Structure 1
Amino acid sequence: MNKVKAYLEEVVKEMRKVSWPARRELISNTGITLLATLVISLFIFAVDRVISQVLEFIYR
């Protein structure tokens, strides 16, 4: 049990050292992440559709 307590104390110490982003920076980075995720998802969807069509043409 002492090891668990020591571990949690170390976690608390390290969390105090963390440099947390400002609210505006956090919102900005979240927006960028969501936009990048959407763009990459659409790209993968488009490539998948093209490959599916090509394979369908080949196997007919």
Structure 2
Amino acid sequence: MQRIMNFFKEVAREMKKVSWPSRKELVNYTAIVLATVVFFTVFFAIVDLGISKLIRLVFE
């Protein structure tokens, strides 16, 4: 039981050392991630549509 308590004390001590982003940074990083996900979703949807049309042209 003592080992578990020591583990959680160490975790708490290490978490105090973490450099957390500010609210503004967090919002900016989140917006960048969401924009990137949307961009790649649209990009791959267009590529998939193009490949599908190409395959239909070839096999029909």
Return the TM-score normalized by structure 1: 0.85
Structure 1: runs of 5 or more not aligned: none
Give the ranges of 4+ consecutive aligned residues of structure 1 lying more than 6 Å apart after TM superposition.
Answer: none
CA separation in 2, counterparts of 1:44 and 1:2? Answer: 52
Aligned to 1:45: 45
Return the TM-score normalized by structure 2: 0.85
Structure 2: runs of 5 or more not aligned: none
Aligned length: 60
CA separation in 1, counterparts of 2:2 and 2:52? Answer: 58
Shift of 1:9: 1.9
CA separation in 2, counterparts of 1:56 and 1:10? Answer: 60
Identity of aligned residues (%): 35
